[in-house]
Chains A and B, each alone.
Chain A
Amino acid sequence: MVQVEGLGRLLAEHPFFRDMPPDVRDVVVGCCANAHWRPGEFLFQEGGKADHFYLIRQGSVAVELHAPGRSAVVVENIGEGDIIGWSWLVPPFVWTFDARAIDQVRAITIDGACLRSKIDANHELGYHLYKRFIPVMGRRIAEARLRIVDLATDGAD
């Protein structure tokens, strides 16, 4: 119980959930847990079932893409205060990248599978989650496209 109260406070303080109605946030808190990874450990790997997402509290995470016969390529780092993982929202709910701890990482793990089942019955919960995830998804897609343009245009800057 003490841990749930602690997680509720952490979620309430986090920018991603801060302005979420408390009763809706309480539902999310019921799907949360604290987690910790050592440097080099994977939070998740490409092809795995995407049933969680993560709020990074400490440390940073490398989003990687591996290529056979080559070392992995880091395409983005996610740091403290950021959120990582949206594949739990998008069928077929499979990770499309690896996420590896760069250093000691502490995060709140949120059970996306649990939330998915609740969203079907609680559309308001779904609305508040999508409302927060879609801007993050949009921003990261836009940034990725701009980086492609930068590469394709011979780095004119």
Chain B
Amino acid sequence: MDAAILSPVPAVAVDPMVPRPFRIVRRVKEVDGCFTLHLRSLDGRPYAFKPGQFNMLYVFGVGEVAISVSGDCRDLNRLVHTIREVGTVTRAMAQLKVGDTIGVRGPFGNPWPIEPAYGHDVLFVTGTVGLAPLRPLVMEVLNRREHFGKVVVCYGSRGTHDILYETLLHQWRGRFDMQVHVTVHSAPAGYRGRVGSVAGLVKIARFDPEQTVAYVCRSETMTRPAVQALYERGVTADRIYVTLERNMKCGVGFCGHCQMGGSFMCKDGPVYRYDTIEHVFSVREL
């Protein structure tokens, strides 16, 4: 059943370089500089993806940008993207309204593998907008909850005002079958939550390190200390999955913009098992 749900929709011969038109049916402001678009395809065909995959979103007349899918992979009729305004394209995207049309190419990339975590504790380590690419995986783990041991989310944000999906985090925290730890970099006096690093959360979270699969979605700079914290707890590199970011353009491994060593991140990534890329992770020239 699960496999059927997550199988790609029967392929229609489409050119991966040609965007499909999608209409914005809902727009949600998340935190400052970050918004979510809910999209529905104009051609009527369902859209299937796996957690961790991304699309090239095209603002007509402006340009394209790679954005991870952040919605529920079981909802084939609604495509959800959470987007941070950082450049020309995403700033233009922020001006779009419900009813506007956007181009979508994808899904591309290697998804978060979920089956290796069957029978294990599952740990998600993420921060700020990094929760968006992980959300489909968390949702899917909860959909298949009986296959896993403890489910733990360690999330960090800069301040109390920019906790992404705060309502959802509260809902998850309210469940009896998962732990949610949230920390912020700094807070106003009187704040009763945790203030400190995400690595500090990894230190206190309750899971069995020898039986844990960890999914880390942070910037590369912040991934290293997160992985180090996992190592200190006893989680080995072959049970840690990370995601990397590069300047993706074509999405299909043609153009080479996102090449890292012998790997094309748009095609072979953006999700990697850590032991397969550890040797290149800190190479500055890459």
Complex interface: chain B residues within 8 A of A149 (CB): 221-222
Given known A-B contacts A73-B187, A73-B188, A74-B191, A157 and B128 have beta carbons under 8 A apart: yes
Number of residues on chain B facing chain A (CB within 8 A): 32
Q: Chain B residue with minimal CB distance to A147?
A: B185
Q: Would you call A79 an interface residue if the criterion is a C-beta within 8 Å of the partner chain's C-beta atoms?
A: yes
| Cβ contact within 8 Å between A155 and B128 | yes
164-216 of chain B: CB within 8 A of chain A: 185-197, 199-200, 204
Most chain-B CB neighbours within 10 Å: which of A71, A77, A142? A77
Distance from A156 Cβ to chain B, minimum over Cβ atoms (Å):
4
Instruction: Give every chain A residue within 8 A of B127 (Cβ-Cβ).
Output: 150, 155, 157
Q: How far is the CB of B22 from chain A (nearest CB, A)?
A: 26
Asked whether B158 is an interface residue with its Cβ less than 8 Å from the other chain, the reply is yes
Residues of B within 8 A of A146 (CB): 197, 221-222, 225
- Cβ–Cβ contact A157 & B188, under 8 A: no
Count how many pairs of residues, one from A and one from B, have CB atoms less than 8 Å apart in the complex: 78
Chain A residues lying within 8 Å of B219, measured Cβ to Cβ, are 150, 153, 155-157
Give Cα A149 to B219, complex, Å: 11
A143→B188 contact, CB < 8 A: no
Number of chain A residues whose Cβ lies closer than 8 Å to a Cβ of chain B: 26
- Determine the distance from Cα of A77 to Cα of B194 in the docked complex, in whole angstroms: 6
A71-95 contacts to B, CB under 8 A, are 71-77, 79
Asked if A32 lies at the interface with its beta carbon under 8 angstroms from chain B, I say no
Instruction: Tell me, yes or no, whether B138 is within 8 Å of chain A by CB.
Output: no
Decide yes or no whether B129 CB sits under 8 A from chain A. yes
Contact between chains at B86 and A71 (CB < 8 Å): no
Asked if B158 and A151 make an inter-chain contact with CB atoms under 8 angstroms apart, the answer reads yes
In contact, B245 and A72 (Cβ under 8 angstroms): no
**Which single member of B194, B197, B217 contacts A147 (CB below 8 Å)?**
B197
Chain B positions within 8 Å of A157 at CB level? 126-130, 217-219, 222-223
Distance between A138 CB and nearest chain B CB, rounded to angstroms: 13
By a CB distance below 8 angstroms, the chain B residues around A151 are: 158, 185
Interface status of A50 (Cβ within 8 A of chain B): no
Given A146-B225, A157-B130, residue A73 in contact with residue B158 (CB < 8 A): no
CB-defined contacts of A74 to chain B, threshold 8 Å: 186-189, 191, 195
CB distance from B181 to the nearest CB of A (A): 12
The listed residue (B193, B196, B217, B245) touching A76 by CB distance below 8 A is B196
Closest to B232 in A: A139
Within residues 122 to 157 of chain A, which ones have a CB less than 8 A from any CB in chain B? 142-143, 146-147, 149-151, 153-157
Known: A77-B195, A151-B185, A156-B219. A142 touches B158 (CB 8 A): no
Q: Report the separation of the CA atoms of residues A43 and B193 in the bound assembly, to the nearest whole angstrom.
A: 19
In the bound complex, do residue A71 and residue B189 qualify as a contact, i.e. CB atoms below 8 Å apart? yes
Task: Check if B186 sits within 8 Å of A155, measured CB to CB.
Answer: no
Task: Pick the 3 closest A-B CB pairs, nearest first.
Answer: A157-B219, A156-B219, A72-B189
Q: List 8 A-B contacts (CB under 8 A).
A: A74-B195, A77-B196, A146-B197, A146-B225, A150-B221, A151-B185, A155-B127, A155-B128
